[in-house]
Structure 1
Amino acid sequence: MIKLVAIDVDDTLLNSNGKLLESTITTIKKAVSQQVKVVLCSGRPLAGVKHFLHELDIVTDDQYVITFNGAVIESVTGKLIKKAGLDFATYQKIDQYSYDHNVSYNIVDADSNIITSNLDVNWITVVQAWENSAGVLVRKPAELTKDHQIIKAVFGDEKEKLDQIEDDVIKEFGQNNYVVRAHPYFLEVMHQNVNKGAALEFLAEKLGIKTSEILAIGDEQNDIPMFNVAGTAVVMGNGSDAAKKHADYVTSTNDDDGIKQAFDKFVF
């Protein structure tokens, strides 16, 4: 019996236009009414998923969300459960790496601010800020205090550029941090103990839910850790080949009622 469903947001919960399908809204509301915990697990901060939570009527203090790819666990009303961020020295190194390798980057802080020292802010950073209901602050590391709460760093650039540097970024930062390709345009660096799976496992234990009672639905590499924790792993039809290797079941796409199909098969 499934008691908790962990769902990735972009290209999973949302269709290709960044919207909720009517079938998804109806399905999730039905599950919540049957006391199933539906936990959005996203690389976005709470501000970037809050409007979707309201559309789904997931609004009470006993509902939870995993944000920043697992760096923050909180109630949907913003009550903090757990948080782990990057240290300032790592942030400084990432900033320098950005200039040395001519790749765009930004950090996201605990207040959901998008901060970059890149004077030529690229379109990917702008879209990320828009999705997170945030502006873009152009700041150098020296303009921030050393206790500034940095949750994650994102190399956000064209796919071809990230393909070129991904292995090097893993080599440079992966030994002491969690580095993951969250999207073709996003290569993220976070606290070494952070990922969606670790956060999901922590939350489930807090709620007294067994991992065998968890259904995880996603589409990308950053969802693989939660697939490894959940009793049942579902990958969207539009998901990456890497993600599909970890699937117990491949549902239809995010544009073709994939969420409804997964809930009908495993929850209802």
Structure 2
Amino acid sequence: MIKLIALDIDDTLLTSQRHILPTTKQAVQDALAQGIKVVLCTGRPLAGAKPFLDELGLAGDEQYVITYNGAVTETVSGQVMAKHLLDNAAYREITTYGQAHHLPTNVLDAHSNIYTANRDVDWWIVEQAAESEAGLFIRQPDELPADFAIAKGAFVGPESLLDECEAAVKAAFRDRFYVVRAGRNFIELMDPIVNKGQALSDLAEQLNLTAENVMAVGDEGNDLPMFDFAGVAVSMGNGTAEAKAHADYVTAANDDDGLAQAIRKFAL
């Protein structure tokens, strides 16, 4: 029996126009009415997830959200349950690599703020800050405290640019960080123990649930760890080929009522 539904936000919960379909909202409400937990699992900080939590009626300390791709797990009201941050040395290494390889680079702290050392701020960084409802600061590493820690770093830009550099980035960092293509325009780096699947597993354990009680729905590479954990793994029809290959089931696309269909098929 499904008792927890883990949902990615972008291109899963949201349509391509970045809205929640009425049918999706109703399916979530029906799940909540049956006592099923609905947990948004996202690369965004809490501030970037909050508008959608509010729209779905998820509130309080009995509902949960996994943010920063698993670096922080918290209640919807903001009570932190677990967090795994990268230290100042890691922050500097990521920033230095981005500058040396001419990759737009930013990092997020644990307070929904984005920092970049790029004086000419790339459009994708501005877009990321807007989507996450995050503060955006232009700072060189020496302008920040020695104990400045981050939830994640990101190399961003056009899909073609990240296609070209992805293999090199993974080769440079994968022995020390969790490196994932979190979207076509984002390569993200986090603490090596961080991913959506680990955070979801830890949360399920705290709620006395097993993997068989968990359904996970997503569309991208950063969703694969929660696919590997969940008893039921669903890829959106608009998901990547990798996501579809890892899933137990492929539903319709995000614009075609795919999420509501999956919730009703497996949880209701």
TM-score by structure 1 length?
A: 0.99
Aligned to 1:11: 11
| CA–CA separation in structure 2 for the residues paired with 1:263 and 1:97 | 42
Aligned to 1:62: 62
SS of match in other structure, 1:255? helix
Paired residue type of 1:73: T
- Counting only pairs closer than 5 Å after superposition, residues 82-231 of structure 1 correspond to structure 2 as 82-231=82-231
SS of match in other structure, 2:256? coil
Paired residue type of 1:183: G
Aligned to 1:263: 263
Aligned sequence identity (%): 50
Paired residue type of 2:252: S
| CA–CA separation in structure 2 for the residues paired with 1:64 and 1:153 | 23
Paired residue type of 2:116: T
SS of match in other structure, 2:243? helix
Q: Is the 8 A contact 2:112 2:135 kept in 1?
A: no
- Shift, 1:213, TM fit: 0.8
| CA–CA separation in structure 2 for the residues paired with 1:217 and 1:116 | 31
Aligned to 2:38: 38
| CA–CA separation in structure 1 for the residues paired with 2:30 and 2:192 | 37
| CA–CA separation in structure 1 for the residues paired with 2:128 and 2:147 | 24
SS of match in other structure, 1:49? helix
| CA–CA separation in structure 1 for the residues paired with 2:5 and 2:237 | 18
- Shift, 1:135, TM fit: 2.9
| CA–CA separation in structure 1 for the residues paired with 2:161 and 2:189 | 16
Segments of 5+ residues of structure 1 without an aligned counterpart are none
Aligned to 1:2: 2
Paired residue type of 2:192: Q
- Shift, 1:258, TM fit: 0.8
- Shift, 1:146, TM fit: 2.0
Larger mean CA deviation between 3-12 and 92-101 belongs to: 92-101
Paired residue type of 2:143: E
SS of match in other structure, 1:153? strand
Aligned to 2:48: 48
TM-score by structure 2 length?
A: 0.99
SS of match in other structure, 2:2? coil
Larger mean CA deviation between 7-16 and 92-101 belongs to: 92-101
- Shift, 1:165, TM fit: 1.2
Query: What's the RMSD between the two structures over aligned residues?
Result: 0.7
- Counting only pairs closer than 5 Å after superposition, residues 245-260 of structure 1 correspond to structure 2 as 245-260=245-260
SS of match in other structure, 2:26? helix
Q: Is the 8 A contact 2:3 2:214 kept in 1?
A: yes
Deviations 1:221-255 (A, max 9, x none): 10000000000100000000001011111000100
Paired residue type of 1:2: I
- Shift, 1:87, TM fit: 1.6
| CA–CA separation in structure 2 for the residues paired with 1:4 and 1:231 | 10
Show structure 1 runs of 4+ deviating over 2 A: none
Q: Is the 8 A contact 2:91 2:149 kept in 1?
A: no
How many matched pairs?
268
- Shift, 1:190, TM fit: 0.3
